[in-house]
Chain A
Amino acid sequence: MIDIVFPITDSVTGSVDPMQQLRGNFTRPISSPANAARRGRETSGFLQNSAAMSLLQTDVSPIAGRGGLPIVLQTHSAQSPNLLFGALRRILEAQALPYDWDSYGGVGATKAAANRAIALILDLWKHSLLSDDPQFDVIPVPTGGIQFEWVGGNREIEIEIDATGKLHTLIQLADGTYEESPSDPPLDWAEFRNQVLRIIGQPAGA
């Protein structure tokens, strides 16, 4: 494993964010800016998710760093990338958790769960739905899934990506009641997006 370091230039403020260190599964060092540019596109493959890679290639332009590493990714989104990379890091950490990490037989996130979670995070970010206001958490689930949780005002939503990659939601409404998605069929992206919008305070379908 080689650690790939990404200094991120915020497209809104122009400031260079703190170095974001992420782990990539590469076997060859980067030896030239040309290789770095190529590897910059490949580096996004650390996500090991074709949909995620496609999104990064179209929306995040890799720019070769001098002498290879580090690689600069300049975002085109108005959102700060810190939240994105923090969430991605949490997903990778969930995938790396050992058996019995919770002391009750819990397992790390499966590849299916991690890939679906990464794709969702990128979609949320692309649609400017990834924000720290309301509070957003990425929580590993001992059954091999990953859970996203938003706490907004007097509403909360949990999105669980189970070990097979299926989505399930639980919404706590202002009156204390709950709405729980059926486990079968699982949610699709449109329904999922609308449920998130209800919690973070934007009109559904906006």
Chain B
Amino acid sequence: MTHENMGRLIDHWLNDVPFREALRKNPAEAIRHSGIHLSPEEMALVGTIDWSISDEALQERVSKFFS
């Protein structure tokens, strides 16, 4: 998988503040209006994760599973 569409989602997240707010409130609706086409698996993922987590908080959660 190239994850190109997830990459487009991230670009919108980074550069479009209203989109970021809309995503936090209703991810499925925000993505439908954005014109980004995610796979069913990616849509399922988008609906379950916590969009309020900041990049700093994400970084704190990085763990080492294998050396």
Partners in one complex: no
Using a CB–CB distance below 8 Å, which chain A residues touch chain B? none
